[in-house]
Structure 1
Amino acid sequence: MFKRIAWGIVFLLLSVLTLGYVFRMPITQWAIAPSLSQSGVELHCLDWSLNSNVSLSVNRLCLTYQGHQIELGGIVADTKKITVGRANLRLNNSESDPSSNEPFKKLALNLPKERPKIEIKRLLITHPQLHDELTVSIDEERLNTFVVSGDVTAEIAVNNHKVAGRFNLADGLLTKIKPIPALTLNSVHAFTFDGLTVDIKSDIDAEFTQAFSQCPVMLNAFGDVNTHYHLNDNKVSLDTQQLTSWVAFDSTCLALINNQSQREFIVKQLPLKWQIMISDTIKFENEQLVMPSMLLNAKNSDAKLSLTNLAINLQQPLEQAKGDIKLLFISEDIEQVEVNAALNNLAINGEYQLRIDELPNFLPASAKKIASTGQFKIANVLQLQQNVDITSELAFAELKFDKLTAKDYKAQFTTELDDKQNIKASLNSQLSSVAYEQYQLLDVNNHLSASSSLAVGELFVDLNSETKLAQFNSDFLNLSNIRISSKGLQSRALQASHHVFIDGVELVASHHISAVEHPFEITIAEQAATKLNPVLQQFEPLATLTDGSFNGVVRGDVNLQQAEFTLQVEQLSGLYNDYLAKQFSSRLTGNYNSGQLNVAPTTFELNELRAGAVVSNMTGNLSVDNSVARAYQLTGDVLGGRFALDSYKVTNEAQQSLVTFENIDASKLITLDDKSGITLTGRVNGRLPVYFDKQGVSVKSGELSNQGTGKLIITDNAAFDAVKAQQQELSPILSLLEDLDIQGLKSSVDLNPDGWLYLGVNLKGYNEAQAQQVNFNYNHEENVFTLLRALRLSDEITQKVEQEYSTKGTKND
């Protein structure tokens, strides 16, 4: 009976053991899963068996911890050691796995004080962001202390609340994580992890080289970096104060500059090596990068770039960024470049200073003592609706460009752009002098303003300008007191009008500039001709306009160098030395084309001309053909008769003109002084061929003859009486001339360019008192210039006339 009961118990136990072994998988998971779950570990699969030596063999074990999955296989476990033949660790991609949203917790692993040690012969690690999978082996030399070898070299110590260790990061590992061919890295990192935070102390020696357009740039960093990362709060802090970093540009970059002068200049100015210095902790928090201070300091140079109080949103780095920026650049040829700016999201405010003693010689222009300062405010930098406020000042002592030289330039520039995209800009500039070849401008002041709207489809710019010039000088003309008021509209082309005052002369000009044409129109309002005296007297210092008015219109195209014009002159009067012209009137119509000036034939009138003899009621015709002026068919009253000039051209080429006289009053021609005792009555005709050449003016084979009868009376003429007294034998003959009825008078006229006049006079008449017929031949020589001087108005009369007309001219100014 006892034996039967014993066998029954044994059979029952064997049955239980057999059933337990057969159902070992669900029973094990039911027993182990709750304890693992307390540590945040989920058990998904377990397949084990017992070996013949009563050791545990696990063919497959699947675990999940915070979204990371590990699959173990080929496990052999006994009381001293657990050996894992193979393992696959699939790390979670926190951006795609929903479970990654679960908060991290402090480590509470509840590790047993005694357990078999673990060895993993081959662990395969994968992650969506890894370039290649990592293969490592893990050996637990001491309890909870693991040595990692393979692709990763590390030593890790695990306890209930912390994981700590060291690992190396080098080029070979980087090629599998994320290949960076230009990076050379050798670093050692010590870390601690408590489930919520990671602290890493790194010793880094890295070098990175990148070529931009065949320009190698090298970044070198070495030293210690301390990193703290809070997993739930996503807070990262970097302490890089013990890290030394350099950015260096290779000298071969300068070979990209083909111009040798530019290359030599940049070599002297631009430092190739810069040190990056971060004096405080860098923080990443709430998707923001906070950097209290960073300084880029050029080696062997005073150039510095500093960033302070920098805060950047990593999701929107351009739209949300704050910080202060300061640039200071001083070099051999640049005295100072300084920029101070404050960045506040999409707004930037700042100021700048620039000082350069002289521009580099490779530039097309040269300038000395250049200085510029300014302030700027820009809001909504990356948006269409921007706000801009810029104020700038520029000055230089001298600027030379080609044949242009400008001295003592000062300018103030302002521009404003509001949120409705209305823009306003102004430029106030001053120049002491501007010279171009023989042209010179003195004391130039200009105010230019522009306004527009950037919100419309097509851009229209309204322009206004006020320009004042104290003096315009050239080899042939000097002008003063110049003022120009301009208005314009710039769209696809420029349309502008200008109100110009030059020494009191007023005119209005308008023009239209496009890519193919540049038409213009100049309107000269009717105004006093005396305003032209400052210009006229530069060409003829002895000339003065005393009365009259003028007006005109000029239309043309600058690009085509063509113009048409109309000029009206009314009642123009003036003085030249002691010559007087009164009331000249004409209307000139012409054109300018291909460098040639043409004026259509037109008439003119001149009421009076005093040039020795008084010429009145003069009329004639004017024209200009291919820049050669011609006066023709001139007629007028002179010496009681009429004269006519067939044609005269204003040219250096030799020419001949014919002057004819009709019905000239002989008494006015001969009698100069009533006290002379000589009177001549009658009428005279004449024909004078006048020649103009390089030697001067001459008359050849001219003729004078009487028209009808005349009379010659000589009484009490001292010179005539002296001749009779000295030459008694001629006295009877000469006495016949004292009372002579002239029947015929002929004279040949020749004038040399030196002014000498030769007259061959043949006089025929009858002396009634002596009943004697007279035939008198006489040759006379006299310098015509002296004669004309004798015929002019006396100085006293001229001064009175000039005073009278100058007074009238002043009233007409």
Structure 2
Amino acid sequence: MIKRIAWGIVFLLLSVLTLGYVFRMSITQWAIAPSLSQSGVELHCLDWSLNSNVSLNVSRVCLTYQGHQIELGGIVVDTKKVTVGRANLRLNDSESDSSSNDPFKKLALNLPKGRPKIEIKRLLITHPQLHDELAVSVVEEKLNTFVISGDVTAEVAVNNHKVTGRFNLTDGLLTKIKPIPALTLNSEHAFTFDGLSVDIKSSIDTEFSQEFSQCPVMLNAFGDVNTHYHLNDRKASLNAQQLTSWVTFDSDCLALVNNPAQREFIAKQLPLKWQIMLSDTVKFENEQLVMPSMLFNAKNSDAKLSLTNLAINIQQPLEQVKGDIKLLFISEDIEHIAVNAALNNLAINGDYQLSVDELPGFLPASAQKLTSTGQFKIANVLQLQQNANITSEIAFAELKFDKLTAKDYKAQFTTELDDKQNINASLNSQLRSVTYDQYQLLGVKNQLSASSSLAVGELFVDLNSETKLTQFNSDFLNLSNIRISSKGLPSRALQASHHVFIDGIELVASHNVSAVEHPFEIIIAEQAVTKLNPVLQQFEPLATLTDGSFNGVVRGDVNLQQADFILQVEQLSGLYNDYLAKHFSSHLTGSYDSGQLNVAPTTFELNELRAGAVVSNVAGNLSVDNSVARAYQISGDVLDGRFTLDSYRVTKEAQQSLVTFENIDASKLITLDDKSGITLTGRVNGRLPVYLDQQGVSVRSGELSNQGTGKLIITDNAAFDAVKAQQQELSPILSLLEDLDIQGLKSSVDLKPDGWLYLGVNLKGYNEAQAQQVNFNYNHEENVFTLLRALRLSDEITQKVEQEYSTKGTKND
């Protein structure tokens, strides 16, 4: 009976063991899975068996930890060691896998104290962002301390609540993680992982080179870096205060500048080596990178660029960025450049200062003592609907460009762009002097304003300008008190109008500028001719305009250098020394083309001309042919008769004109002084060929003759009586001239360029008292210029000149 019971118990035990072995997989997962789950590990598959020496063989086991999957195979387990023949670790891409939404947890590993050690002969690690899989082997030299070799060299220590270790990262390993050409890296890293955060202490020695548009740039970095990253909060911090970094631009980069002078200037000014310094901890939180301070220092230079309080959203780095920028640049030829700016998302505001002793020599212009300061505020920098406000001041002591020299320039520039894309800008500038060739401008002041809208399809700009010039000087003309008011509308072509005042002279000009033409129009409103005196007296200091008005219109094209004009002069009066001209009127129509001036034939009238003798009711024709002016068919009243002039051209070339006289009152021609005691009555005709050349004015073979009869009476003439007394033998003959009826009078006239007049007079007459026929020949010489000067200084002319100038000249000034 006892034996039977014993065999039953043995059979029952064998049955239980047999069933337990058959259902070992289910029983094992049922027993192990809950304990693994407490550590965040999920068991998916398990297949094991016992061998003959009672060791455990695990052919396959599958585990998942926070989305990362590991599959182990070829595992042999005994009481001292667990050997894994193969393992595949698939790391999760937390950005794409939905399981990344599960929060990370603090490590709470239930590590047995007496378990066998683990050895993994071959572990393949894969990740979606790895270029190649990593192959390593893992050996647990002591409990929970693992040595990793292969593609990765590391040492890892695992305890219940953290994982610590060290690993090396080289450029060879990076080629498998993510190949980066031209990178040399040698680094050591110590890390601590507690399930929620990672702390890494790194020692880095790296070199990276990259070529940008044939410009090699090298980055060197060496030193220590501390990194902290929290997995759930996605917070990271980087302390690189002990890291030394240099950015070096190769000298070959200067070859990108083709101009040798520019290349030499840039090489002298721009440092090629810059040090990058992070003086505080860099943080990353909520998709935002926060950098308290980054400094770029140029080697062997005072140039500095600093970024402070920088915060960048990595999803939208250009649209969401804040920080302060400071640039200080001092070089051999640049005295001072400073920029201070604050970034606030798409807004930037700041100020700048610039100081340069002189501009570089390769520029077409040279400037001395150039300075500029300004402020700027720009919103929505990268968007179409921008908003900006910029103010700037610029000054230089001297600027030279070709033949132009400007001195003491100062300007203030402002521009404003509102949220409706309306832009307004103004430039107020002043110059002490501007010189171009023989032209000089003094006291230049300009106020320029522009307004437009960037919202419309086609850009239209309203321009307004006010320019004042104290003085305009040139070799042939000086002008004062110039003021120009301008309006313009640039679009496809520039349309502009100008209201010009020059020494009181008023002009209105308008023009259009396009790619093919530049038509213009100048309107001269009717105004007093006395306003022309400051200009006229520069050419003829003795000339003064006293009365009259003028107006005109000029139309043409600047590109074609062609213009048509109409100029009307009404009742012009003026003085030249003590010559007087009254009421000159004419209507001129002409053109300027191919450098030549032409005026169509027109008439003119001159009421009176006083130049010794009084000439009145002058009328004639004038024209301009190829810049040569001509007056012709001129006639008028003189000495109670008429005169005509066939033609006169305003030119330096030699020419001949014919002056004729008709019905001249002989008494006014010969009797120059009422007190002389000599009177002559009758009428005289004349013909005077006038020659004009480089030597002056002359008359050759001129003729004067009587028209009808006349009479000569000499009484109480001291000179005549003296001759009779001194030459008694001539007294009877000379007495015949004292009361003579003139029957014929002929005279030859010759005038030399020096003013000497030669008259050969033949006088025929009859003395009724002595019943004697007279034939008298007389040669006379006199300087006509002196004679006319004496006539001009007579009381009558002097009084007339003073009257005209005082009553009419001052009225029209």
TM-score (ref. length: structure 2): 0.98
Give the structure 2 partner of residue 243 of structure 1.
243
Separation of aligned partners in 1, 2:808 and 2:85: 125
Separation of aligned partners in 2, 1:185 and 1:146: 25
Give the structure 2 partner of residue 364 of structure 1.
364
Separation of aligned partners in 1, 2:603 and 2:276: 86
Give the structure 1 partner of residue 35 of structure 2.
35
Shift of residue 583 of structure 1? 0.5
Give the structure 2 partner of residue 54 of structure 1.
54
Give the structure 2 partner of residue 629 of structure 1.
629
Q: After superposition, where does 1:532-571 map in structure 2 within 5 Å? A: 532-571=532-571
Separation of aligned partners in 1, 2:798 and 2:713: 31
Give the structure 2 partner of residue 231 of structure 1.
231
Question: Over residues 718-772 of structure 1, what are the superposed CA-to-partner deviations in whole Å (9 max), with x where a residue is unaligned?
Answer: 2222222222222222221111111111111122222222222111111111111
Instruction: Report the CA distance shift for 1:733/1:230 in structure 2 as closer, same or farther (over 3 A).
Output: same
Separation of aligned partners in 2, 1:10 and 1:799: 168
Q: After superposition, where does 1:224-303 map in structure 2 within 5 Å? A: 224-303=224-303
Instruction: Report the CA distance shift for 1:606/1:707 in structure 2 as closer, same or farther (over 3 A).
Output: same
Q: Secondary structure at the match of 1:242?
A: strand
Q: Secondary structure at the match of 1:396?
A: strand
Q: Secondary structure at the match of 1:28?
A: helix
RMSD value, Cα: 1.3
Give the structure 2 partner of residue 321 of structure 1.
321
Q: Secondary structure at the match of 1:174?
A: helix
Give the structure 2 partner of residue 218 of structure 1.
218
Question: Over residues 550-582 of structure 1, what are the superposed CA-to-partner deviations in whole Å (9 max), with x where a residue is unaligned?
Answer: 111111111111111111111100000010000
Contact 1:575 1:802 in 2 (8 A): no
Give the structure 1 partner of residue 525 of structure 2.
525
Give the structure 2 partner of residue 709 of structure 1.
709
* Range 662-671 or range 209-218, more displaced: 209-218
Shift of residue 803 of structure 1? 4.9
- Number of aligned residues: 813
Separation of aligned partners in 2, 1:358 and 1:744: 88
Question: Over residues 144-198 of structure 1, what are the superposed CA-to-partner deviations in whole Å (9 max), with x where a residue is unaligned?
Answer: 0000001100000000100000000001000011111121111000000000010
Separation of aligned partners in 1, 2:207 and 2:795: 99
Q: After superposition, where does 1:485-524 map in structure 2 within 5 Å? A: 485-524=485-524
Q: Secondary structure at the match of 1:706?
A: strand
Contact 2:168 2:189 in 1 (8 A): yes
Give the structure 2 partner of residue 687 of structure 1.
687
Give the structure 1 partner of residue 770 of structure 2.
770
Give the structure 1 partner of residue 606 of structure 2.
606
Q: Secondary structure at the match of 1:674?
A: coil
Separation of aligned partners in 2, 1:382 and 1:270: 28
Percent sequence identity over aligned pairs: 90
Shift of residue 679 of structure 1? 0.8
Q: Secondary structure at the match of 1:52?
A: coil
Contact 2:578 2:801 in 1 (8 A): no
Shift of residue 9 of structure 1? 3.9
Look up the equivalent residue of 2:597 and give its one-letter code.
L
Give the structure 2 partner of residue 583 of structure 1.
583
Separation of aligned partners in 2, 1:270 and 1:157: 51
Separation of aligned partners in 2, 1:434 and 1:16: 116
TM-score (ref. length: structure 1): 0.98
Shift of residue 4 of structure 1? 4.6
Give the structure 1 partner of residue 733 of structure 2.
733
Look up the equivalent residue of 1:282 and give its one-letter code.
V
Give the structure 2 partner of residue 438 of structure 1.
438
Instruction: Report the CA distance shift for 1:122/1:795 in structure 2 as closer, same or farther (over 3 A).
Output: farther
Separation of aligned partners in 2, 1:685 and 1:705: 5
Shift of residue 12 of structure 1? 3.7
Give the structure 2 partner of residue 196 of structure 1.
196
Separation of aligned partners in 2, 1:400 and 1:643: 59
Q: Secondary structure at the match of 2:214?
A: coil
Shift of residue 783 of structure 1? 2.2
In the alignment, structure 1 residue 407 sits paired with structure 2 residue 410: no
Shift of residue 536 of structure 1? 0.4
Shift of residue 25 of structure 1? 2.0
* Range 747-756 or range 168-177, more displaced: 747-756
Look up the equivalent residue of 2:446 and give its one-letter code.
N
Look up the equivalent residue of 1:437 and give its one-letter code.
D
Q: After superposition, where does 1:779-790 map in structure 2 within 5 Å? A: 779-790=779-790
Look up the equivalent residue of 1:281 and give its one-letter code.
T
Shift of residue 692 of structure 1? 1.5
* Range 752-761 or range 177-186, more displaced: 752-761
Give the structure 2 partner of residue 674 of structure 1.
674
Look up the equivalent residue of 1:407 and give its one-letter code.
K
Separation of aligned partners in 1, 2:810 and 2:102: 100
In the alignment, structure 1 residue 18 sits paired with structure 2 residue 14: no
Contact 1:201 1:226 in 2 (8 A): yes
Please list every run of 5 or more consecutive structure 1 residues that lacks an aligned counterpart in the other structure: none
Give the structure 1 partner of residue 459 of structure 2.
459
Q: Secondary structure at the match of 1:190?
A: strand
Q: Secondary structure at the match of 1:675?
A: coil
Look up the equivalent residue of 2:643 and give its one-letter code.
F
Shift of residue 804 of structure 1? 3.7
Separation of aligned partners in 2, 1:792 and 1:296: 88
Contact 1:278 1:293 in 2 (8 A): yes
Shift of residue 3 of structure 1? 4.5
Shift of residue 277 of structure 1? 1.3
Q: Secondary structure at the match of 1:274?
A: strand
Separation of aligned partners in 2, 1:794 and 1:156: 129
Contact 2:792 2:798 in 1 (8 A): no
Look up the equivalent residue of 1:777 and give its one-letter code.
N
Q: Secondary structure at the match of 2:95?
A: coil
Question: Over residues 298-330 of structure 1, what are the superposed CA-to-partner deviations in whole Å (9 max), with x where a residue is unaligned?
Answer: 111111111111111111111111111111111
Look up the equivalent residue of 1:100 and give its one-letter code.
S
